Structure 1
Amino acid sequence: MWKEFKSFAFKGNVMDLAIAVIIGAAFGKIVSSVVDDLIMPLFGIILGGLDFSNIVIQVNEAKIQIGSFIQTVIDFIIIAFSIFLFIKFLHKFKRKEEEKPDKPAEPSKEELLLTEIRDLLKNKQN
C-alpha cells in the first residue's frame, strides 16, 4: 500500500496539480485585488459615487451584505473567464501539435542500396 501511495503521490500529475493549486490561490488574490481596488471603485464612480462594500440590508439582527456578494460574483466571473481563455489556448496549442504531419523517415543507406539493386534487376529483365 505504501508503494502504491508513493507512486501516486510523486507522479508528475499530482505535483503539477499541487503547483496549479498554489498558483491558482495567488491568482485568486490578484483578481480579488483588481476587483476590490480597481473595478468596483470604477463602477462606484460610474454609478454616482456608490460604494458597493457598504451595501448592506439589515433584517433584525442579521446583516445581508449585498455589496460583498456582488464583489465575490465579479471575482468569480473574472477568474472563470481567465481559466476559460487559458484552457482554450491550451486546446488550440494541442490541436496545432496534433495537426503536424509526421515526416516520413528518410530511407537508410541499406534501403537506398536495395532500391538501386531492385531497379537494376528490373532493367536487366526488360
Structure 2
Amino acid sequence: MGMLQEFKTFAMRGNVIDLAVGVVIGGAFGKIVSSLVDQIIMPPIGWLTGGIDFSQLKWIIRPADNSDPAHKVAEVAVQYGAFINTLIQFVIIAFAIFLLVKAINRLTHRQEVAAPPAADVVLLAEIRDLLKAQQPK
C-alpha cells in the first residue's frame, strides 16, 4: 500500500474526522467563553471591587524607560490579572465539559440497563442453576 493511500485511509477514518470537528467546535466554544468572561462576568466583579479591571492588573518588575529614544527599555511585568481571567475561563470550560460528559454517561448507562441479557447468558445461568439443584447435599 502506497503512503498516499495509507494517509487517505487514516484521514478518512471516523475518529480523525470527529476529532477535527471537536477541535473546531472547541475553538469556537473557547471564544464564546472568553467573551462571556471578559464582557459579562468580569465587569460586574470589577464594579463590585471598586472599578478594578482584572485584565489590567499587573506587578511591575521593571518599569518602561522611554527617556532615551535610542535605548528604549520595555516594561517587565507579571500580568496576573490576565491570568485570573484565563483561570475563570478554564473553570467555565471544564464545568461545561463535565456537564457534557455527565449527560453522555447518563445516556450510555440508560442504554446499557435497558438492554436485556443475551440469550447465551440466560441459558448458561439456567444450566448453572440446574447443576446446583442436582448436587447431593
- TM-score clears 0.5: yes
Determine helix, strand or coil for the equivalent of 2:60: strand
Shift of 1:8: 1.7
Which residue of structure 1 aligns with residue 9 of structure 2? Answer: 7
Within 5 Å, which residues of 2 pair with 1:108-123? none
Which residue of structure 1 aligns with residue 94 of structure 2? Answer: 80
Q: Of the two structures, which has the highest relative contact order with CA contacts closer than 8 Å and spacing of 6 or more?
A: 2
Separation of aligned partners in 2, 1:104 and 1:62: 67
Which residue of structure 2 aligns with residue 97 of structure 1? Answer: 111
Q: Looking at secondary structure, tell me which structure has more helix per residue.
A: 1
Which residue of structure 2 aligns with residue 19 of structure 1? Answer: 21
Which residue of structure 2 aligns with residue 68 of structure 1? Answer: 82
Task: Give the TM-score normalised by structure 2.
Answer: 0.70
Paired letter, 1:47: T
Unaligned runs of 5+ in 2: 63-74, 120-137
- What is the aligned residue count? 105
Q: Identity over the aligned pairs, expressed in percent? A: 50
Shift of 1:2: 3.2
Determine helix, strand or coil for the equivalent of 2:89: helix
CA RMSD of superposed structures (Å): 1.8
Unaligned runs of 5+ in 1: 106-126
Larger radius of gyration between Structure 1 and Structure 2: 1
Paired letter, 2:79: Q
Task: Give the TM-score normalised by structure 1.
Answer: 0.76
